[in-house]
């Protein structure tokens, strides 16, 4: 498929899968830096500025669920985030002026690495307009047995589903039974390391625990049009502008009618893993359960 065909696929279905996109040399370097950052877990018993640990972690047998903001942890990730390889897709979706709004590497370990319950990214980060996309880069082969990302075709058209519980607290996940989501239609995004998927911020997605014995590391790069402003946090202007990866930044806000429900109040501030720890009913059987 050409880039234009991938964009048409993204617009029709809310996601597209681009096999073997990352040049092999770049992939090797990204994996080497990821390995090095993960090695830091051997020196810590608790979360650090860079690493979020998974349940059961020890220094001798590290279990890590996330590398936080890799674009700040090593310049290679930022260089890759603004590479022509990715910008050709991001600019076709969000336009010429682009900010990297967020980055993370979810490192789902092979011994029951944590699932991610079904959700829409927009519920975590509403912006003034929806010209955004999330590029997910497979750093390892992603196969049916190691918890690949799964997406619901067409869900990008909305609506935004409820990510709060019945007491009104944000839990960062939908209730698929309550909302009648037919997960029989979910598509697993399978590919070799170096493949990339792109999804819309409204696309419903999730992933199962990893029971394969092999890691499933995936880097998520979230891009926003420069005039799509986050609605719930203050901005450090210099840092914000440093994340412009194409075109020009602006202080002019483009406000469009979009679904907005703030991810508050919360009983568990922090990452999606913390939010979802508050769920009363789960779709995926959690790590360490049969």
Ligand X SMILES: O=C(O)CCC(=O)C(=O)O
Residue 137 in contact with ligand X, rule: CB under 6 A: no
Nearer to ligand X, 100 or 272 (CB): 272
Nearer to ligand X, 107 or 227 (CB): 107
C-beta separation of 148 from 207 below 8 A: yes
- What three-state secondary structure class fits 223? strand
Residue 189 in contact with ligand X, rule: CB under 6 A: no
With a CB cutoff of 8 Å and minimum separation 6, the contacts of 209 are 108, 112, 113, 114, 115, 147, 284, 285, 286, 287
Residue 63 in contact with ligand X, rule: CB under 6 A: no
With a CB cutoff of 8 Å and minimum separation 6, the contacts of 7 are 16, 89, 92, 93
C-beta separation of 272 from 243 below 8 A: no
Nearer to ligand X, 18 or 142 (CB): 142
Residue 207 in contact with ligand X, rule: CB under 6 A: yes
CA separation for the pair 111, 38 (Å, rounded)? 16
Residue 138 in contact with ligand X, rule: CB under 6 A: no
Q: Which of 17, 22, 41, 116 binds ligand X (CB under 6 A)?
A: 116
**Total binding residues for ligand X by CB under 6 A?**
8
Terminal-to-terminal C-alpha distance of the chain = 40
Q: Which of 135, 161, 218, 226 binds ligand X (CB under 6 A)?
A: 218
Residue 205 in contact with ligand X, rule: CB under 6 A: yes
Determine the residue with CB nearest ligand X: 207
For binding to ligand X (CB under 6 A), which residues are involved?
Answer: 106, 116, 121, 149, 205, 207, 218, 272
């Amino acid at each position: 498929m050409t880039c234009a065909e991938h964009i048409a696929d993204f617009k029709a279905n809310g996601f597209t899968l681009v096999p073997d996109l990352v040049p092999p040399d770049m992939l090797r370097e990204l994996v080497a830096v990821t390995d090095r950052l993960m090695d830091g877990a051997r020196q810590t018993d608790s979360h650090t500025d860079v690493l979020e640990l998974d349940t059961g972690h020890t220094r001798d047998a590290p279990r890590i669920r996330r590398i936080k903001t890799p674009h700040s942890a090593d310049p290679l990730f930022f260089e890759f985030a603004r590479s022509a390889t990715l910008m050709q897709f991001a600019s076709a979706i969000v336009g010429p002026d682009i900010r990297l709004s967020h980055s993370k590497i979810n490192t789902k370990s092979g011994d029951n690495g944590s699932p991610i319950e079904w959700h829409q990214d927009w519920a975590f980060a509403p912006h003034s307009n929806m010209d955004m996309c999330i590029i997910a880069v497979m750093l390892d082969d992603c196969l049916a047995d190691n918890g690949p990302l799964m997406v619901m075709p067409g869900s990008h058209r909305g609506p935004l589903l409820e990510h709060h519980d019945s007491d009104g607290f944000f839990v960062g996940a939908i209730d698929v039974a309550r909302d009648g989501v037919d997960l029989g239609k979910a598509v697993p995004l399978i590919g070799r390391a170096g493949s990339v998927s792109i999804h819309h911020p409204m696309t419903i997605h999730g992933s199962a625990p990893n029971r394969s014995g092999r890691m499933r590391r995936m880097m998520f790069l979230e891009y926003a049009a420069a005039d799509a402003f986050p609605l719930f946090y203050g901005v450090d202007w210099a840092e914000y502008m440093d994340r412009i990866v194409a075109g020009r930044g602006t202080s002019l806000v483009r406000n469009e009618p979009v679904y907005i429900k703030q991810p508050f109040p919360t009983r568990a501030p922090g990452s999606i893993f913390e939010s979802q720890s508050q769920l009363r009913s789960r779709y995926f059987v959690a790590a360490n359960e049969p």
